[in-house]
Structure 1
Amino acid sequence: MVSIVSLQGVVALLGRFPALAGADLEVGESEIVLVQGPNGAGKSTLLRVCAGLLRIESGRAEVLGHDLVADRAAVRRSVGLLGHDTALYDDLTVEENLRFWARASRIDDEAVPAALDRLGVAERLRDVAVRNLSAGQRRRTALAAVVVRRPRLWLLDEPHSGLDQGGRDLIDQVILDAASAGATVMLASHELDRTLDLATRHLTVAGGTITSDERGSREPGGHDAA
């Protein structure tokens, strides 16, 4: 198995609170890993640690071959994160935001039109300033910014939030397509009726630790399990 995420006894703090309290995890290539658990369990913290946004206090961790202590900057450049904050610039248009993220990731601008079209924001919204978008439109645009970067690791925190049924179905297909193309996807979600069917594995997080790790209904690559 090609290791994409490797955590061994990882502890991470929010203030003085251990938001991760000795997490152990191995995630391989082309997996779709659902992270579930109650509010405050550590789901978002786990994704933020894997994105290199939160410093670990102890333990060993590698993401995409980069050490999370010694080379957090390389991790941040290499992953695609969709968090609660969409990381879009309000004064830029939808297309300008995607071109910014493409250049920041050293991706050719030619990838932008395809990403806009893939997320259904090409025709009506490409020239609209982000500040004028609805919550669902912002969510689609933020995911398009992940798509345009072509990361090997996607970290999606409540990716269906704020979307209508059509938008949710589209997000599901984008996730499956990413895994089929070789990317690894980790997503935190409360919408278990939808996301359980997407995942190759289901992690349960409680009290900052991973309390269960079960096989899902799909094989790595997003294919249905036999």
Structure 2
Amino acid sequence: MLELRNMTKTLGDKLVLRNITLTLEKGEILAVIGPNGAGKSTFFKCTVGLLQPTSGEIYLNGKLVKKNSAEMKQRIGFLGHESFLYNNLSPLENLKFYGKLYKVKDLETKANELLKEVGLYLFRDIPIRSFSRGMMQRLAIARVLLPDPEILMLDEPHTGLDQEAVALLNTIILKKRESGTSILIISHDFEQVQALADRAAVLRKGKIVSAKRLGGEVSMAELKQWYEAEVKGT
């Protein structure tokens, strides 16, 4: 379980995040949605440890996470807008490089299994510099899954994917949830939020203003109506 308590972030003289308190339960898919400028990217970076919150606390399984915590980096896998892949390496070489950093056991076998899972096995030995945006995203997903993180943080993970890749990613996300992985998705794609999320939270002007349980029981029209009302502050 991941818990944020009164997390704030100031950049310069601007208060970007305001007292965010939010919980991600074990085996839950939580979607954070909000308009442009709401602070979603800053929220993501603070939550995964790329930025240090100005104040507030982050707890992982009830334990306070300290600054630059190695434990948090090992237990949370995140996929942001940067792939962190090396263009001169092949998919297999990229995964083996990161696998050694994560000290993944039986690395060769696991890397090849993941490449099959994301549909890149036939391209495993080709340098990725010629890969499309969608292929890079698939490989980045494999990189994130390599150390079997307890928590997955995904920032707009469907961006740049074709319909086949979207379906593949959703299958992976749901499979991970079934195995007990907790997943936080930042997204503006209501179709994917409605299809995947157990719960959604609206971020507006740096603050979580509302949360709603979805679980496949809320229609697209109801989801959009709720979101628009919360964004407008009505």
Q: Distance in 2 between matches of 1:16 and 1:133?
A: 41
| Residue from 81, 103, 106 that aligns with 2:103 | 106
Match of 1:14 among 6, 11, 15: 11
Contact 1:156 1:187 in 2 (8 A): yes
Superposed counterparts of 1:196-207, under 5 Å: 196-207=194-205
Match of 1:197, SS state, is helix
Read off the aligned partner of 1:82 and give its amino acid letter. L
Larger Rg: 2
Q: CA separation of 1:105/1:12 partners in 2, compared to 1, >3 Å: closer, same or farther?
A: same
Q: CA deviation at 1:71?
A: 4.9
Cα distance in 1 for partners of 2:172, 2:42 equals 24
1:92 and 2:95 equivalent?
Answer: no
AA of the residue aligned to 1:116: L
Distance across 2 between alignment mates of 1:47 and 1:150:
20
Residue 224 of structure 2: aligned partner: none
Structure holding more helix per residue: 2
Q: Does 1:193 align with 2:175?
A: no
Q: 1:6 to 1:120 in 2, by over 3 A?
A: same
Q: What is the distance in 1 between the residues matched to 2:102 and 2:95? A: 11
How many residues matched?
215
User: Which residue is 1:56 aligned to?
Assistant: 53
Structure 1 match to 2:118: 119
Deviation at 1:131, TM superposition (A): 1.8
Distance across 1 between alignment mates of 2:90 and 2:135: 12
CA shift digits 1:147-173 (9 cap, x unpaired): 212100000011111110000011111
Q: Higher strand proportion, which one? A: 1
Correspondence list, 1:23-102, <5 A: 23-102=20-99
Q: SS of the counterpart of 2:166?
A: helix
Deviations 1:32-51 (A, max 9, x none): 00110011212222222221
2:115 partner amino acid: L
Q: Which residue of 2 aligns with 1:139?
A: 137
Distance 1:167 1:65, change over 3 A: same
Q: Which residue does the alignment assign to 2:206?
A: 208
What CA distance in whole angstroms lies between the structure 1 residues aligned with 2:61 and 2:68? 11
Structure 1 stretches lacking a partner, 5+ long = 220-226
Give identity over the alignment, percent: 33
**Structure 1 position 92, deviation (Å):** 1.4
Contact 1:5 1:50 in 2 (8 A): no
Distance 2:144 2:87 in 1: 17
| SS of equivalent residue, structure 1 residue 30 | coil
Separation of aligned partners in 2, 1:100 and 1:47: 25
Give the CA deviation at 1:15. Answer: 3.8
In structure 2, the CA distance between the partners of 1:153 and 1:138, relative to structure 1 (3 Å rule), is same
Deviations 1:190-223 (A, max 9, x none): 111222121110011011111111101259xxxx
1:184 maps to 2:169? no
Cα pair 1:203 1:214 within 8 Å, conserved? yes
Aligned to 1:224: none
Q: CA deviation at 1:13?
A: 2.8
Helix, strand or coil at the partner of 1:139? helix
